[in-house]
Amino acid sequence: MILRLFAAARVATGTGRDTFDLPAGTPLSELLAAARARYGDEFTAVLATSRVWVNGDEPPDGQATVLQASDEVAVLPPVSGG
Cα separation of 28 and 43, whole Å? 16
Which residues, listed in sequence order, are joined to residue 4 by a DSSP beta bridge?
A: 17, 74
The answer, yes or no, to whether residue 81 has pLDDT greater than 70, is: no
Q: pLDDT band at 69, cuts 50/70/90?
A: very high
Cα separation of 12 and 47, whole Å? 10
* CATH 3.10.20.30 is right for the domain spanning 2-76: yes
Q: pLDDT band at 79, cuts 50/70/90?
A: confident
Work out the percent of the chain whose per-residue pLDDT is above 90: 94
pTM: 0.92
The answer, yes or no, to whether residue 49 has pLDDT greater than 90, is: yes
The answer, yes or no, to whether residue 65 has pLDDT greater than 80, is: yes
